[in-house]
Chain A
Amino acid sequence: MIIKVCVGSSCHLKGSYDVIEQMKAIIKKYDVEDLVDLQAGFCLGFCSQGVTVKVEEIEAPKVEQISDGELFIHNVNKDNAEEIFAKEIYPLLNL
């Protein structure tokens, strides 16, 4: 699985780097470093809803609303990052 944090100008100003740092720590905390590849992406196209995080290469998605193995999550910040990870991203790993 790839977690791509938007670092386009708009998200950057809203704190992309804080989200990246937070995500790094969370991935370590949940011990999924081997399963998740954390990356940065230039503008994912949702400038007004940043910081946007895109989850890619989700294998065998069980959740219906995920098309093409991709999921966009908006309005992520350093405070809600863990909650979002636990609720929306971690289950997709099918562990």
Chain B
Amino acid sequence: MDTTRVFDTNVQFLKYKVLKEVIRRAYEGGLENSYTEIPKIISPGPKSELRCCIYKERAIVQERIKMAMGGDKSNPNVVEVIDIACDECPIDGMYVTPACRGCIVHNCKEVCPKGAITIVNKKAVIDKTKCIECGKCTQVCPYTAIIAQHRPCVQSCKVKAISVDENKKAVIDNDKCISCGACVYKCPFGAIQDKSLVLDIISILKNSQENKKYKVYAIIAPAIVSQCKFGRVSQVVTAIKKLGFYQVVEAALGADITLYHEAKEWSEKKLMTTSCCPSFVMYIEKYFPEIVKYISSSPSPMIETAMLIKHSDPTAKIVFIGPCTAKKIEYQLAKTNHLIDSVMSFEELQAFVDARGIDTTQMEDTVLDNASYYGRIFAKSGGITKGVADVAKSMGVDGVVPISMSGIEECKMALTRLKFGKAAENFFEGMACVGGCVNGALCITHSPKNVFDVDKYGNEAKEKTIENSVKLYELNQKS
């Protein structure tokens, strides 16, 4: 199988190669020699291909190995900058390129609200002390001669948590960061990465003694459906079981129950935000403390599903598999009662499956069908909104006026209105990733078509309503 085609970017592929090699060694031996041997496998030399010299290239691979093995344990954030991988991108902001013809109309000068542009020797010159980087000049130049040079990491970070230090290296402010992972996907040098918990997961699997000592369950996020470029979801489920998991359960089942709780909670509160996206919750906590009271107290689908599993199997160990960096934070929070033992990304799943020599395309099918249509469309922005509106209606609750906020920029606008009491809506669905989980930072692919896969998968569910999932929940509550 040609794995290079699986990923969107070469950075993802590089991360995958390192992960795969680390995982392979965890099973076949040689983990202790990882730091000396893996860099030479990834960058065989003698000439460097990606960096200034082969030594730096290999040193960066060593840093990636460290991330694959859990990263800096003293840093509570799951997203970290690999210092030496940061290419110190230019941070000049608005830049006049040689394409400037020194025209007579000089729209740039006219449009600048701060008077920062003057024409010197028939060329536009920007006074950096006055420029506020609004970007208007870049839009009006007839020759598109003015460009905005922003760091991709800084630009991707919608909460302005990334700054540049005196050595021009990117630095993440943990107090501001919401661990959404946007920078992880956007840095063209792969200098910002998420820590992997895959070695912990391997120990959980190994210590289960083939599910005899305790059983290991995988909860899989519904966004998986858009990620199966090789093979079907049903084959991926078989592949996950081949890794040593006892059983695979859809997080969408928990999503059904979350919907039920949220609809009920809304009928009491009448003004509420969702709580499924951990980055969105962190965003409110850090940037809109005044409206924390509106966050739904309903547990996330991951946690609801885990509660169902633990109820039927109290000694179960549970690993969540999804597209999300922030879930790697959420599972550690006290409010989740440590129901989840670890979290694996889709990227890591791909590496794990390949490291174990499992060819997904050759797997038989294992059905995965517990959740309803509504639970499954949680993966896309607008999914919860649709679910809550319909569920509330079926409960006889009227008056839900929902808004689905896709990405932090939309969240910011709507939450600001909510904060100042100017919002027309009363149910706020927030997702930190634009488009929802289906476009999550640790998705293998981020195609705009992914959302169609989610709809199709939703329609394939046996259960068209959440009724039976709720019955299951109630059955467990009773006993």
A binds B: yes
Interface bits B466-479 vs A (CB < 8 Å: 1, else 0): 00100110011001
Cα–Cα distance between A38 and B249 once the two chains are bound (Å): 21
Known: A4-B312, A12-B369. A40 touches B217 (CB 8 A): no
Q: Which of B217, B369, B479 contacts A42, CB < 8 Å?
A: B217
B468 touches A8 (CB 8 A): no
Interface: B397 (CB within 8 A):
no
Interface: A41 (CB within 8 A):
yes
B462 touches A39 (CB 8 A): no
Known: A4-B312, A9-B369, A9-B370. A39 touches B471 (CB 8 A): no
A-B contacts at CB below 8 angstroms, number: 49
Cα–Cα distance between A1 and B368 once the two chains are bound (Å): 29
Interface: A55 (CB within 8 A):
no
B476 to chain A: which residues have CB within 8 Å? 39-40
B209 to chain A, nearest CB (A): 16
Cα–Cα distance between A8 and B247 once the two chains are bound (Å): 8
Q: Which of B308, B312, B313, B370 contacts A12, CB < 8 Å?
A: B370
A13 touches B475 (CB 8 A): no
B249 touches A39 (CB 8 A): no
A38 to chain B, nearest CB (A): 7
Cα–Cα distance between A47 and B247 once the two chains are bound (Å): 11
- Number of A residues near B (Cβ < 8 Å) is 17
B468 to chain A, nearest CB (A): 5
- Number of B residues near A (Cβ < 8 Å) is 22
A39 touches B479 (CB 8 A): yes
B475 touches A43 (CB 8 A): no
B462 to chain A: which residues have CB within 8 Å? 12-13
B368 touches A39 (CB 8 A): no
A47 to chain B: which residues have CB within 8 Å? 366
A38 touches B367 (CB 8 A): no
A42 touches B247 (CB 8 A): yes
B313 touches A42 (CB 8 A): yes
Interface: B26 (CB within 8 A):
no
Interface: A76 (CB within 8 A):
no
A38 touches B312 (CB 8 A): no
Interface: B309 (CB within 8 A):
yes
Cα–Cα distance between A92 and B479 once the two chains are bound (Å): 20
Interface bits A1-17 vs B (CB < 8 Å: 1, else 0): 00010011110110001
A39 touches B367 (CB 8 A): no
Smallest CB gap from A17: residue in B: B468
B249 to chain A: which residues have CB within 8 Å? 42
Indicate the member of B250, B369, B370, B471 with the most A CB atoms within 10 Å: B370
A42 to chain B: which residues have CB within 8 Å? 217, 247, 249, 308-309, 312-313
Interface members, chain B 320-371 (any A CB < 8 Å): 366-370
Cα–Cα distance between A9 and B309 once the two chains are bound (Å): 13
Known: A42-B247, A43-B247. A9 touches B367 (CB 8 A): yes
Cα–Cα distance between A4 and B472 once the two chains are bound (Å): 12
A9 to chain B: which residues have CB within 8 Å? 250, 366-370
Interface bits B291-328 vs A (CB < 8 Å: 1, else 0): 00000000000000000110111000000000000000
B468 to chain A: which residues have CB within 8 Å? 17
Smallest CB gap from B475: residue in A: A40
Q: Which of B313, B366, B370 contacts A7, CB < 8 Å?
A: B370
Cα–Cα distance between A20 and B467 once the two chains are bound (Å): 13
Interface bits B445-479 vs A (CB < 8 Å: 1, else 0): 00000000000000000100000100110011001
Interface members, chain A 29-85 (any B CB < 8 Å): 37-43, 47
Smallest CB gap from A43: residue in B: B247
Known: A13-B369, A13-B462. A7 touches B479 (CB 8 A): no
B313 touches A41 (CB 8 A): yes
A10 touches B471 (CB 8 A): no
Q: Which of A8, A10, A12, A39 contacts B475, CB < 8 Å?
A: A39
Q: Which of B246, B250, B312, B368 contacts A40, CB < 8 Å?
A: B312
B313 to chain A: which residues have CB within 8 Å? 41-42
Interface members, chain A 11-27 (any B CB < 8 Å): 12-13, 17, 20
Smallest CB gap from A21: residue in B: B471
5 A-B pairs with the lowest CB-CB distances in the bound complex, closest first: A41-B312, A43-B247, A9-B367, A9-B369, A17-B468
21 A/B residue pairs, CB under 8 Å, sorted by A: A7-B370, A9-B366, A9-B368, A10-B367, A12-B369, A12-B370, A17-B468, A20-B471, A20-B475, A37-B479, A38-B475, A39-B311, A39-B312, A40-B312, A40-B472, A41-B312, A42-B217, A42-B308, A42-B309, A43-B247, A47-B366
Supply 12 further A-B pairs (C-beta < 8 A) apart from A8-B247, A41-B313, A47-B366. Answer: A8-B370, A9-B366, A10-B367, A13-B367, A38-B475, A38-B479, A39-B311, A39-B475, A39-B479, A40-B472, A40-B475, A42-B312
